[in-house]
Amino acid sequence: MDFNPILHVDHVRKSYSDTPVLKGINLSIFQGEFVSIVGKSGCGKSTLLRIIAGLEDINEGEVKVNGEKLTTINDEARMMFQDGRLLPWKTLLQNVGLGLTGDWKPKATYVLNSVGLKDRAGHYPSSLSGGQKQRVALARALVHEPELLLLDEPLGALDALTRMEMQNLIESVWKENRLTAILVTHDVEEAVLLSDRVIVIGEGEVLLNKKIDLPRPRSRSNPTFHHYTEEILEVIMEESCVKKSECKIV
């Protein structure tokens, strides 16, 4: 991993009407890192990801990408959502090639093959399973060769086995393409499995910035894996309680 800063979030505040969502977030992401953002529903983690993508305005602070202040759509990033957002009237190859110009088909075909859908290029999204649709969505993000891959709970609607397969695929393409990845997820085990660091956000603030010092590939049966998971869960659970004394890990 090259420890050159690619992204810096500096005292970012975001409110909707009079409701604060982010309350002065400070965060640096380094080139080649895989970082996960976790926290309870409504804590602001998806809002932060959209801000990094340039899809949301901010009230205060700034976001810098490669040292330059972000003022519009982040051209260095591509985002993958929980819903694949595929166009049903276009083939898989056409969905992957959206936004490409010139002789785009060889590149789109190569990337579609890299996510395991070599023989489905001419098919339509209606013929796919949920996991296959997310593979296409991942290919559509990768075809633009982004520096930043932004993942907004892309596996949340998948069954357990398909989710594990997609976790392996995401880790594989992250390594192969030397990307910087930021994953928003509710699944703490998933965050520990994939990440170099896990960020816990609560009530619009960073509550924990935890380095995950585990060799890859990782095993959920590793006692240290469980230690990281429990430590992160404890922070989330304490933040979720009205009174900390009402919460405990059992």
CB 76 within 8 Å of CB 147: yes
**Which single residue is written with the structure tokens 């936004």?**
99
pLDDT value at residue 3: 59
> 3-class SS at 115?
coil
Q: Is the CB of residue 167 less than 8 Å from the CB of residue 155?
A: yes
- Res. 250 pLDDT band, cuts 50 70 90: very low
What is the pLDDT, as a whole number, of residue 68?
A: 93
Token digits of residue 104: 């785009």
Question: What is the residue extent of each domain of the chain?
Answer: 83-145
Q: Does pLDDT of 195 surpass 90?
A: yes
Do 73 and 67 touch, CB atoms closer than 8 A?
no
E-assigned strands of 60-160?
A: 60-65, 68-69, 77-81, 148-152
Q: How many residues in the chain?
A: 250
Is the distance from CB of 54 to CB of 31 less than 8 angstroms? Answer: no
Question: Is the sign of the CA dihedral 129, 135, 141, 147 positive or negative?
Answer: positive
SS3 of residue 46 by DSSP:
helix
**Cα separation of 92 and 165, whole Å?**
20
pLDDT(247) > 60 = no
Contact 67, 28 (CB under 8 A): no
pLDDT in tens, 60-76: 999 999 999 999 999 99
Predicted local confidence at residue 238, as pLDDT:
84
Identity at 158, one-letter amino acid code: L
User: CA dist 164 to 168, 182, 194, 195, 220, Å?
Assistant: 6, 18, 11, 15, 12
- Separation between Cα atoms, residue 66 and residue 7, nearest integer Å: 6
Distance CA 212, CA 22 (A): 25
Q: Which amino acid is residue 78, in one-letter code?
A: R
The pLDDT value recorded for residue 242 is 45
SS3 162: helix
Q: Residue range 190-213: average pLDDT?
A: 96
Quick check: 10 and 184 in contact, CB under 8 A? no
d(CA 197, CA 201): 13
pTM: 0.92
> In this prediction, what percent of the chain has a pLDDT beyond 90?
82
Confidence of residue 18 (pLDDT cuts 50, 70, 90): confident
**pLDDT tops 90 at residue 157:** no
pLDDT digits (tens, 9 = 90+) for 104-134: 999 999 999 999 998 899 999 999 999 999 9
